[in-house]
Structure 1
Amino acid sequence: MSTSFNTSIVIPCYNEENGISNAEYSNFLNNNSEVLFCFVNDGSTDDTLAVLKTLKDKHPTQIHILSLKKNSGKAEAVRAGIQYCNFNFKHQYIGYLDADLATTLEEFIDLRNFLDEEIVFCFGSRIRKIGSIIERQNSRFLIGRIIATFISNILDIKVYDTQCGAKIFTREISEQLFQKEFISKWLFDVELFYRMILLFGREKAIQKMLEIPLKLWVEKGDSKVKLSYGVKLWFDLYKIRQEYKKIEKNISQCKLK
């Protein structure tokens, strides 16, 4: 079995029995032999694992399944998948994508074309503009814009969409960004930006990241984030901001000594 792939893609899955399109994944793999998928079954209580095993039977070398015993949340599922792939496979790029393929596999894989010696982190952005198709409930769009604007302000960087579930990295930077556990189960994307800032400094970090407007993004199914998280979300943002500001302050003090 080959352990060398150009790109590994981590797909976190929690109760995705009806959300995984085996045909879309299979068709993509038939035309992209250099890509590996790592599906992380995050303690699903439905038949997600059986669906994944059926898909793996069709593509035994390109699909791997990492099954977590209990539900840990998207942040830990993605982190576990990234670490598993980095330990077991040789790849140049690695990223993660939502299981429902709101972002198409073809457009996601195109993001790696923007990675080079300077750009080490590239991510999709759900910008509504002429020439793109971004299908999302207006209520979610408006709430999302409020949250995204707030996040951009606390990060102090001009980023439109930190929460789009289509992100890809060079292997080297992924090893650093996903080394430690995240504070939040759902807002870990925000922490990724903070970690980039801590690694490179704000100005250089901005030069090493690239936000690409997606041509097509279609909202599918119900969100796994409960409505009750709407309140806790702001508390999580507060905790994230306080923790990383403290780390930044400690780093600055160490440099002054």
Structure 2
Amino acid sequence: MDYCWFFGQIGFVLFGLAIAAVLAVLIYMYLTTVSRPDLHRYDEEKFYLDPSTKKRIPFCSVFDSPSLDLSIVVPAYNESERLPAMLDEALEYLEMKYGADNSYEVIIVDDGSRDSTSETALRYAMKYGCKKVKVLTLIKNRGKGGAIRRGVLSSSGRSILFADGDGATTFEDYNKLDSVMNTCLTEGDKEVVVCGSRAHLEQEAIAERSMFRTFLMKGFHLCVWLLCVKGVKDTQCGFKLLSRPAAQRLFTSLHVERWAFDVELLYIAQSLGMRIEEVAVRWQEIEGSKLVPFWSWLQMGRDLLFIRLRYTLGLWKLSKSKGD
């Protein structure tokens, strides 16, 4: 038997299969790529409810001049049970820091929930007033990134924080992010992203996780570094503070609306030369996560590859001009 010929044929077949796989991926990308981000909002999503008068009040736009010091955007999908603890902690802190000047707002974005998330949030709007607590109920589920985008685009603050509705991050640590933001702005930077980070907790987390979950986490971090974002240790922490000019550009450029949206957000920020800082925050695991370890990581890995390929191939484009 001619082994050289045999293995040569196997190699030829494998090479052909690899070419076919690459072509299939490229064809899939071309067929599924939408060149412009989805900024569409239904008419109902342009208003929030005043629960005391039952009147609908139009949201502001992130492109209007800021009228508040801080906007907090809280994405919430089926969070009627976990949301109250987060809001109690956040609003107690916000009332102490900003309440006297009425210079904050919390926008809770109900991402098409099937439970009583909106009703739970409206109780806080009734308690604190709808100028401080606003509920944006999306007509359909958009994904975490899509929910945050629509909340950010409706914000009035000079700075905009998005924070997960499970309350995993100690809200008081906003002080740390705000301090870094003020330093950056004082130094002349206008477009700034300050990321809360759990990187300092990694060794403790590894000790508590299974080997399989640790392998998935390490693999994801490697893919993020290789394909998209370098220099940020924790891209996925749901506690990020943005200057208003940064939010305007980032959330009108963002395409990915589900779990990997943070990575594209930071990829865009780095590509546009924005200043990115990372600040350690306190964080704890909260039961009830919507993240399914294997399938969610697999989806995010696919999204990372497509983010890089779509920008590299020019299917998605970034405007380098602030005026565009």
Q: Partner letter of residue 118 of structure 2?
A: L
| 1:246 and 2:318 matched | no
Which of the numbers 128, 133, 147 marks the counterpart of 1:63? 133
Shift of 1:248: 10
Shift of 1:99: 0.5
| 1:196 and 2:266 matched | no
TM-score of the superposition, structure 2-length normalised? 0.67
Cα gap change, 1:247 to 1:137, in 2 (>3 Å): farther
Cα separation, 2, equivalents of 1:170 and 1:52:
26
Cα separation, 2, equivalents of 1:13 and 1:35:
19
Cα gap change, 1:55 to 1:249, in 2 (>3 Å): closer
Which of the numbers 88, 91, 105 marks the counterpart of 1:23? 88
Partner SS state of residue 30, structure 1:
helix
Quick check: 1:135–1:217 contact (8 Å CA) kept in 2? no
| 1:47 and 2:116 matched | yes
Cα separation, 2, equivalents of 1:53 and 1:136:
40
Cα distance per residue 1:139-185 (max 9 Å; x no partner): 45553233123202223522211111111110011100001342351
What is the 5 A alignment of 1:121-136?
A: 121-128=193-200
- The aligned counterpart of 1:254 is none
Cα distance per residue 1:100-132 (max 9 Å; x no partner): 1111111024302111233711101112369x9
Q: Gaps (5+ residues) in structure 2?
A: 1-56, 61-65, 319-324
| 1:101 and 2:164 matched | no
Cα gap change, 1:249 to 1:234, in 2 (>3 Å): closer
Q: Partner letter of residue 67 of structure 1?
A: T
Partner SS state of residue 84, structure 1:
coil
Which of the numbers 218, 221, 226 marks the counterpart of 2:284? 218
TM-score of the superposition, structure 1-length normalised? 0.83
Quick check: 1:136–1:219 contact (8 Å CA) kept in 2? no
Moved more, 35-44 or 105-114: 105-114
Cα gap change, 1:250 to 1:45, in 2 (>3 Å): closer
What is the 5 A alignment of 1:78-89?
A: 78-85=148-155, 89=156
Cα separation, 1, equivalents of 2:225 and 2:111:
29
Cα separation, 2, equivalents of 1:172 and 1:136:
40
| 1:8 and 2:80 matched | no
- The aligned counterpart of 2:209 is 138
Flag the structure with larger Rg: 2
Cα gap change, 1:112 to 1:133, in 2 (>3 Å): farther
Q: Partner letter of residue 230 of structure 1?
A: W
Quick check: 2:198–2:237 contact (8 Å CA) kept in 1? yes
Quick check: 1:111–1:123 contact (8 Å CA) kept in 2? yes
